[in-house]
Amino acid sequence: MAEQQEVGRGDKLRWWVLGTVIFGTFLGRLDQTVVNLALPKIISDFSISVTDAAWISTAYILANAVFVPVWGKLGDTAGRKRIYLVGFIGFIIASALCAVAWNLSSMIVFRIIQGFAVSADYPTAMAIIAITFRDMKERAQALGIWSSAFAAASVFGPLIGGPLIDNFNWRAVFFINIPLGIVGLFLALTFIDESVGEKKHVKFDWWGAVSLGAALAFLTLVLDQGEAWGWLSAASIACYALTIICSAWFYFVEIREPEPIVDFRFFKIGTFNSTMLNNFIVFMALIGAIFLVPIFAETFLGYDATQTGYLFIPLAIAMLVAAPLGGRLIGRIKPSYVIFASTLVCGIGILMLGGIDARWTSWDIIVPMCIMAFGMGFGMAQRTNLIAVAVPHEEIGEASALLALVRNISGAFGVAIFSTILDNSVNANVLQTAGHSFLNGSSALIGQFANLIILKAQVAGYATVFQVAAWIVIVGSFTSFLINVPREAVTSEHRVIAEG
């Protein structure tokens, strides 16, 4: 009852609340995409190698992955608006620090602070939406619209970042966050009301936070650097061992903790587990394969960063259209059917990319990506809403943090796995292509002959990655039939979901 009283004004202005958290989510994800465009300039200014520059992204990923569950728990205990504002203020300060970084070490430290601050957004934003939109159909629609901010940021990142970097310098991509962050902070102060979980909390699970953070840090580190180190190198094996040890430590801490960061009772809920499984499979294949599209476009099609960004505009539109449409089916069609169909369509779109070729036009890439994005967006609201429905209302922040964590880790798995598949496939294709190729001409052409073999092998390697990713998604679509909301596990306000 206390929570309902606290969000009364938010109910009246609920669409302003939604717009506010969309702006915050968009800004945080926008920064994540534009920094990748700035890396070449940073490498030049700091006189560092590409391997060194990778740590600028790794530091951000590590901090983001580690602290998402912590912020989710703090939001439920200390107040969601309070934590949301803390994260926003931290993001503004960290962006200013990144903009004035003077060497690699300072940039890595400031990126850790930035990733730490940004990680407060996802769990608190989802919880704020869930408590603001009481009607289940409206909530699903709102979550779908909010989810589309992720796609929009991935598109507008290159479009905004490219001109900033070209016309000013790489520091501009951080400086722009300051005025935009102040606008977002003003919106949050104006429209978001405070809310906390209904349970009375007396302490924070610091040991759980430390052990979980350590486990995720070692896991993310090996996923990000494993290919460079070698997956069976001493450094990788050490990270595997430390991940297992810290995970076991975390588990034994949490099962004895009265107020844990991760409530392992969630994993006794069938709907929660099956939805998480579907999310993991879909995002692993999606993120792991699609991150290669810009690389292919710039390497083999000769596009620059801005032209590559244009390829993703139709993708964003497709997802923006599909997300609310899928949300409207809440209560009308059983969620597992919608998720199955959307995942299958997503897989078909990726499978179409499996025929990728250096002679492709922009439309050859845009059409499959639009199909993929439409499928992904159509089921987004359903997946997110099921997590909100499956868990106790006062623990939505914790559950949404776990959802974000699963997506982050699955994406890291995908990038690591498909990067390895790409390298192995290219190497195998070089040998196979060379064994079936003959040079009819003078020895002066042997250099061009070798380059053509490598080019064909590389293009075939990208095609292999997309084909593998597609079949993972297509087969993974059948996990949607494991999703079921038991009637006895939901309240009357949720029953429309269970019976849909």
Q: Is the pLDDT of residue 497 over 80?
A: no
What lies within 8 Å, CB to CB, of 414 at 6+ separation is 283, 284, 285, 286, 287, 288, 289, 469
pLDDT at residue 397 in the model:
66
pLDDT at residue 71 in the model:
81
Of 170-179, 317-326, 444-453, give the range with the top mean pLDDT. Answer: 170-179
Q: Are 147 and 384 in contact (CB under 8 A)?
A: yes
Equal CATH topology for 1-204 and 265-500: yes
pLDDT at residue 154 in the model:
65
Tokens of 165: 């970097």
Tokens of 372: 């993929």
Tokens of 107: 């940039």
Q: Are 84 and 124 in contact (CB under 8 A)?
A: yes
Cα–Cα distance, 316 to 319 (Å, whole number): 5
Q: Are 358 and 463 in contact (CB under 8 A)?
A: no
The band of 134, judged by pLDDT with boundaries at 50, 70 and 90, is confident
Tokens of 215: 């486990």
Q: Are 156 and 30 in contact (CB under 8 A)?
A: yes
Of 56-70, 180-194, 232-246, 316-330, give the range with the top mean pLDDT. Answer: 232-246
Residue-range domain boundaries for the chain: 1-204, 205-258, 265-500
SS3 call for 173: helix
Q: Is the pLDDT of residue 173 over 60?
A: yes
Tens of pLDDT, residues 195-213: 665 554 556 677 887 888 7
Q: Which CATH architecture has domain 265-500?
A: Up-down Bundle (1.20)
DSSP structure string for 350-382: HHHGGG--TT--HHHHHHHHHHHHHHHHHHHHH
pLDDT at residue 486 in the model:
47
pLDDT at residue 447 in the model:
56
Nearest partner of 416 among 253, 237, 167, 225, judged by Cα: 225
Tokens of 335: 């969620």
Nearest partner of 261 among 308, 207, 297, judged by Cα: 207
Mean of the pLDDT values across residues 91-97? 94
What lies within 8 Å, CB to CB, of 468 at 6+ separation is 289, 418, 421
Cα–Cα distance, 282 to 188 (Å, whole number): 32
pLDDT at residue 292 in the model:
78
CB atoms closer than 10 angstroms to residue 230:
12
Cα separations (Å) of 23 from 29, 119, 125?
10, 15, 11
Tens of pLDDT, residues 411-456: 767 777 777 788 778 777 676 665 555 555 555 556 565 666 667 7
Cα–Cα distance, 318 to 260 (Å, whole number): 39
CATH homologous superfamily of 1-204 equals MFS general substrate transporter like domains (1.20.1250.20)
Q: Is the pLDDT of residue 94 over 90?
A: yes
**DSSP code of 491?**
-
Share of the chain above pLDDT 70, in %: 82
Sequence length of the chain is 500
Q: Is the pLDDT of residue 496 over 60?
A: no
